[in-house]
Amino acid sequence: MNNQPQPFRVYDSNQNNAREKKDDLLNKGLETDDLYGPQITDKDGALLDEHDSFYYTTKSLLVLFQIMGVMPLMRVPKDAQTTERTTYKFLSKATLWAYFIWSLELLIVLKVGEERLTNFQQNTNKRFDEVIYNIIFLSILIPHFLIPVASWRHGPQVAVFKNMWTQYQLKYLKITGTPIVFPNLYILTWGLCIFSWALSVAVILSQHYLQDDFELWHSFAYYHIIAMLDAFCALWYINCNAFGTASKGLAMNLHKVLDSERPALKLAQYRNLWVDLSHMMQQLGTAYSNMYGIYCMVIFFTTTISLYGALSEILDRGLSYKEMGLFVIVGYCMTLLFIICNEAYHATRKVGFEFALRLLNVNLATIDRSTQREVEMFLVAIAKNPPIMNLDGFTDINRELFAANISFMSTYLIVLMQFKLTLLRQGARKTIKAVVKSLLNTTAIMPDEESEDDEDDEE
């Protein structure tokens, strides 16, 4: 007889409830996989392509990133038996093209950057405010050097995010029986692709005409950088819009399920769909964490310096075309940051708060006990998996980030303006001392001249 003590086990109520639920489903003749919805396998490759409407409606932006060499993703052939429909390889045709086009752009960026840096180093006798202008346009060149680290390095994570969207749409179709429809997204994506380059040309040419030292050939180093920032803003807007559309469709189907008889199993599948949607939102921030993190820092630095340069020049010489050019940069940067923060806020609200509010409005008295339990578990899942767009733990993207940036910029701007006023006071003191000294010298010379005149009269 074995007298060894039995190992101690901790009672897990959630695990036992899940086991009881699976046992009930098995007794009813249902598979355990039905609890989590249909599984996507390699055999579904053709179906994944057929129902990937998000990819086909936003394909133009993906192609634009390939042409610019920013994010060289590749699409697998339609007959490939794999669930990974989007791939990233460091030696694919797209990445080799990215290396080539980035190297060509690097030549002009280095040339312009070297000239800006030389002008910054040699002109030491210039006023501080004039030196600031070189720093502004040097900072705008920084994103080009960071593309390999911030964008290419996270290519595999971006491919994971794209594949999550592809698999989610097929799973959504199998569970709800209806596809996710993205109205006007195809035209919107094409319009944003064209607008990103048009805006880039407009912003850079405005600097050529408004800034005295911004030569026309310098603009060729900035077009692709500004267009890249615009395209990333468009990418963020499109994904946030798609999250809201998917959440709205899921909520509409949810109400239909609740009106049916004994919808507990279907509700569990919908909960799994919602959790996948929340994980996709988190993956978006992880995949583009470095790119959007650098994005925000460049915007913060450029906006602060540009605003200081404009206000400082206005104090010295009044409003001119140069200050108007700097205000264009400030308005452009703040608009991009606001769009990113505002769209992330709306996506989080639609997928999280508004969806939970629909569940809270369900009349629990009209549904059976198992459905009530599923509604409660759905609300717990929303609380435990908040749909937050986080840049890999660095910061959350929402309206609070925009307000925090304005607060930090105001603080640094006040410090810089105090420094400016100190320089003005020092300059005023030097001027006053010079005037007083000249007056004293003039007063000292006048008596000497009078005495000489008296001596002449005596003679």
pLDDT above 80 for 128: no
Angle value at C-alpha 95, between 91 and 97, nearest 5 degrees: 120
Extract the tokens encoding 137: 């346009």
pLDDT above 90 for 18: no
Of the candidates 362, 399, 405, 105, the residue with the CA atom closest to the CA atom of residue 254: 362
Whether residue 237 contacts residue 58, with contact meaning beta carbons closer than 8 Å, is answered with: no
Of the candidates 151, 167, 166, the residue with the CA atom closest to the CA atom of residue 90: 151
pLDDT at 340: 92
The string of pLDDT tens digits covering residues 375-430 is: 888 889 888 888 888 888 888 888 998 998 888 888 888 887 777 777 666 665 66
pLDDT at 200: 93
**Extents of the domains making up the chain:** 41-426
Position with higher pLDDT, 29 vs 399: 399
| Most confident of the following: 139-148, 301-310, 360-369 | 139-148
pLDDT at 436: 61
Whether residue 322 contacts residue 210, with contact meaning beta carbons closer than 8 Å, is answered with: yes
Whether residue 419 contacts residue 308, with contact meaning beta carbons closer than 8 Å, is answered with: no
Pairing of strands 74-75, 86-87: antiparallel
Average of pLDDT values for 66-72?
A: 91
Separation between Cα atoms, residue 96 and residue 134, nearest integer Å: 33
Position with higher pLDDT, 80 vs 223: 223
